[in-house]
Amino acid sequence: MNKVEFSPSLMTMDLDKFKEQITFLNDKVDSYHIDIMDGHYVPNITLSPWFIDEVRKISSLPMSAHLMVTNPSFWVDQLVAQKCEWICMHAEVLDGMAFRLIDQIHDAGLKAGIVLNPETPIETIFPYIELLDKITIMTIDPGFAGQRFIESTLDKIVALRELREEKGYKYVIEMDGSSNRKSFKRIDAAGPDIYIVGRSGLFGLDDKIEKSWEIMKKDYEDMTGKALI
């Protein structure tokens, strides 16, 4: 990828200002990150596939669904029916299902992603890594916003970049968790293609989304020395 992309995590937005925030961000960001939690894989219950339809009423940007669920097949069926552009599943729950679900997503003309928890090594996905369109590295434990940034997870981003170059793989690399002024410099050094930004990096910076974006943009540019296009 030629430029860093930003994908806001919509579970951390101000739902009272849903239309206002999405309308503004449509011209600023590259995609939207939709967290779907079932209350089992992680304790929280957040967004669901219906939310994608609501966003699509006012946005044409790609949607990326992050499935924090114990039964990915159930949710993949729904998201394929909705033509969700990216469907990302946790490697930790895919034993015996990975190839089938990846094929199902691809057969529908959609993109398949895998998410790795902080303690999950990248070797876990080696059997099917060449099939993946995206790999998301969790830099916090999944399920809750605002947790401590786990710096050691950045080593996986570096390793995935090196592996992609060596093997000619096509996946993009995404990071998810505590992406903000305190961590931008370290994340930039690791070199992911996509930053997911949530409450600490975007939505919680100001009551107005316009001001929040300007703060985030300045934070990124100050800490990395790179212009956010």
In a domain, 137, yes or no: yes
In a domain, 148, yes or no: yes
> Catalytic residue at 27?
no
The CATH number linked to 56 is 3.20.20.70
Query: What is the rounded CA–CA span in Å between residue 150 and residue 167?
Result: 27
Query: What is the rounded CA–CA span in Å between residue 161 and residue 106?
Result: 23
pLDDT at 207: 95
145 is in an annotated binding site: yes
Residue 143 belongs to what domain range?
A: 5-223
* Number of Cβ atoms within 10 Å of the Cβ of 97: 15
90 is in an annotated binding site: no
Determine phi and psi for 78, rounding to 5 degrees.
Answer: -65, -45
- Catalytic residue, from 35, 38, 133, 193: name it: 35
> Catalytic residue at 35?
yes
176 is in an annotated binding site: yes
- Catalytic residue, from 133, 176, 193, 219: name it: 176
143 is in an annotated binding site: yes
In this prediction the pTM is 0.94
* Number of Cβ atoms within 10 Å of the Cβ of 198: 24
Cβ within 8 Å of residue 204, ≥6 positions away: 12, 212
Which residue, among 188, 199, 174, has the nearest Cα to 86 in the 3D structure? 174
144 is in an annotated binding site: yes
Q: How many CA atoms lie within 13 A of 86 on its CB side?
A: 26
Q: Which two structure tokens, joined as six digits, stand for 134?
A: 């995206």
In a domain, 229, yes or no: no
In a domain, 198, yes or no: yes
Place of tokens 């605002």: 146
Number of independent structural domains in the chain: 1
96 is in an annotated binding site: no
In a domain, 228, yes or no: no
pLDDT at 43: 58
pLDDT at 44: 66
* Number of Cβ atoms within 10 Å of the Cβ of 1: 10
pLDDT along the chain (229 residues), means of 10: 87 93 97 89 73 95 96 95 97 96 98 97 98 96 73 97 98 95 96 96 96 97 92
